[in-house]
Amino acid sequence: MKAANNILEVIGNTPLVRSHSLASHVESDILLKLEYLNPGSSVKDRPALQIIEDAEESGELQPGGTIVEATSGNTGMGLAMAAAVKGYNCIFVMPDKMSDEKIKALRAFGARVAVCPTAVEPDDPRSYYSVARRLAEETAGGYLANQYHNPSNPNAHYRMTGPEIWEQTEGELDVFVATMGTGGTISGTAKYLKEQNPDLTIVGVDPIGSIYYDYFLTGEMTEAHSYLVEGFGEDIIPSTMDFDFVDHVIRVSDKECFQYTRRLVREEGIFAGGSSGGAVAGAIKYAETLDEPANIAVIICDSASRYLTKIFDDDWMRENGFLDDGWGNSTVDDLLTAKGGPGHVYTTSAGETVARVVAQMKEHGISQLPVIDGNRIVGIVNESDVLNHLLGEGSRDDAIDGLIESQFAIVSPSDRTALLGQFFRQNKVVLVMDGNDLAGIITKIDFIDFVSSDL
Ligand SMILES: Cc1ncc(COP(=O)(O)O)c(C=O)c1O
């Protein structure tokens, strides 16, 4: 009888499949490691099980205990699945922007899900990190899985993913490519592979907006910007991310990730999610730089089923500017040009008086001003806040600091115009930064004007 004893025994040993169409213009072989075929549908089944088994062995997780984790995604699925088999309770703490589907998937395994506000700093007691830590401490038998700082995460890949790839390629491997989230996959797999062949090249893939790319090149922490692809890229450096094993970092845009994801499904029948498209985009970009053909293994992290209402929905893709049709294809730079070109943007400073701001608004006929503190944009002050201030207890001589709103979004000239819709729906003001320079301010009416003139 070849039946497994439970679902956890079938984690791993995922197939390696040669890509036959996406990379036909390069001579290298792109080999796809299909992690979405794990029972929890992602690469994260491996670290989830390893984290639980190591905590059982160390005694940190006792029979009947409760596993707590701040996660919105695949690690939660892996932990919930293992907890169901092993008889543990699970509590997941999630930011409030997460889809109902994801919450329901975790509840389906019997897990409890606590939802926390997104718009707070990570060290705020209401943040989902802080709530997870507190719940783990306050729950009898609580254990915080802590995937961003738990060595069991990279160890799972050192023990399983690395050896599998080495065996499947029979050692004929030149390059390993993975997206970097917690860094567990790349760090653990690369450690094993480099032990087998120190000349092997390891390529990490990072979405534009994440801090990893700059950190890898300069060692400096920069400010993260928003991006839409899910599961990789960070605004912190977790201790599970070990750059000593990484030789190159390739950056990919949301659009590249999503277009390659769609092509993976349509042309290769590989039912993968957005980070997998990113990994393939990164692998192909790297392959294009090589003089000699190479065998390149790429991690295909999770399943398309989690993204059907986004990446695989034409309306969502168009709205976000990822389909090459209509005005959705224009850039912020096009909008600024239509508006008369990037020009001077009036600003004010933190500490300035209400009277001075009113004078500036009047002089230039504007209704909102970005507020600068040093060389950082700290917010926006707008005419309705000034009016409310003056109609209430406020005086003209007060500093504007109490009126500064943080409802703004920063975009760059090369961003798609279609990206802006979501910011205006959230009543945000859009500021255009060209490098460190403030190149423009876009209001709702500018956007309406641009979109309607093109119809
Ligand atoms: C969809 C997806 N892609 C990529 C990753 C990155 O993997 P790692 O955290 O091991 O770096 C994750 C991690 O959660 C993920 O969920």
Considering only CA atoms, which residue is closest to atom 15 of ligand 1? 231
What tokens appear for 384 in the block? 């309705």
Q: Which residue has the higher pLDDT, 453 or 281?
A: 281
Question: 301 in ligand 1 pocket by Cβ < 6 Å?
Answer: yes
Whether residue 320 is contained in a domain is answered as no
Residue 255 inside a domain? The answer is yes
Instruction: Say how many Å lie between the CA of residue 161 and the centre of ligand 1.
Output: 14
Cα 350 from Cα 371, distance rounded (Å) = 6
- Ligand 1 pocket check for 182: Cβ under 6 Å: yes
317 within a domain of the structure (yes/no): no
Distance, CA 280 to ligand 1 centroid (Å)? 14
Which residue has its alpha carbon closest to ligand 1 atom 14? 231
Do residue 277 and residue 217 come from a single domain? Answer: yes
CB 184 within 8 A of CB 156: yes
Any ligand 1 atom below 6 A from CB of 212: no
What is the domain count for the chain?
Answer: 3
The verdict on 271 and 397 lying in the same domain is no
Ligand 1: nearest atom to the Cα of 184 = 10
- Residue 330 CB less than 6 A away from ligand 1: no
According to the model, what pLDDT value does residue 97 have?
Answer: 66
Residue ending a domain, choose from 257, 284, 312: 312
H/E element holding 195?
helix 184-196
Both 336 and 444 in a single domain?
yes
Is the confidence at residue 114, as pLDDT, over 80? yes
Q: Residue 161 and residue 45: Cα distance in Å, rounded?
A: 11
Looking up residue 400, the CATH number of its domain turns out to be: 3.10.580.10
Q: Are residues 122 and 233 in the same domain?
A: no
**Closest Cα to atom 13 of ligand 1:** 231
Q: Does 280 share its domain with 183?
A: yes
List pLDDT tens digits, range 220-232. 998 888 889 998 9
For residue 76, the CA-to-ligand 1 centroid distance in Å is: 12
Which residues does 166 contact at the CB level (< 8 Å), separation at least 6? Answer: 173, 192, 193, 196
Other CB atoms within a 10 A radius of the CB of residue 381 amount to: 25
Same structural domain, 258 and 376:
no
Identify any residues that bridge with 383 across adjacent strands, giving them in sequence order.
none
Question: Which atom of ligand 1 is nearest to 230's Cα?
Answer: 1
Question: What tens digit of pLDDT does each residue of 177-221 get?
Answer: 999 999 999 999 999 999 999 999 999 999 999 999 999 999 999
* pLDDT score recorded for residue 455: 46
Of 212, 206, 430, nearest in space to 336 by CA: 430
Q: Say if 343 falls within a structural domain.
A: yes
Examine the fold and report which residue of 266, 289, 312 is the final residue of a domain before the chain moves on.
312
For residues 407-413, average pLDDT? 87
What angle do helix axes 254-268 and 274-288 make, rounded to 10 degrees?
Answer: 100
Just list the catalytic residues.
44
Q: Return the pLDDT at 76.
A: 95
| pLDDT (average), residues 36-57 | 98
We report the CATH number of the domain holding residue 134 as: 3.40.50.1100
CA of 19 relative to ligand 1 center, distance in Å: 21
Domain boundary among 80, 106, 140: 140
Percent of the chain at pLDDT exceeding 90: 62
* pLDDT on residue 325: 62
Judgement on whether residues 163 and 283 belong to the same structural domain of the protein: yes
Q: How many angstroms does the Cα of residue 231 sit away from the middle of ligand 1? A: 5
24-53 mean pLDDT: 97
**Residue 58 within any structural domain of the chain:** no
- Region 416-425: mean pLDDT is 80
pTM of the model: 0.74
Q: What is the pLDDT of residues 249-265, one digit of tens each?
A: 999 999 999 999 999 99
Range of the domain at 218: 13-42+151-312
Closest by alpha carbon to 279, among 295, 264, 299? 299
Q: Residue 260's pLDDT is what?
A: 97
pLDDT > 70 fraction of the chain, expressed in percent and rounded: 97
Local confidence band at 328 (pLDDT 50, 70, 90 cut-offs): low
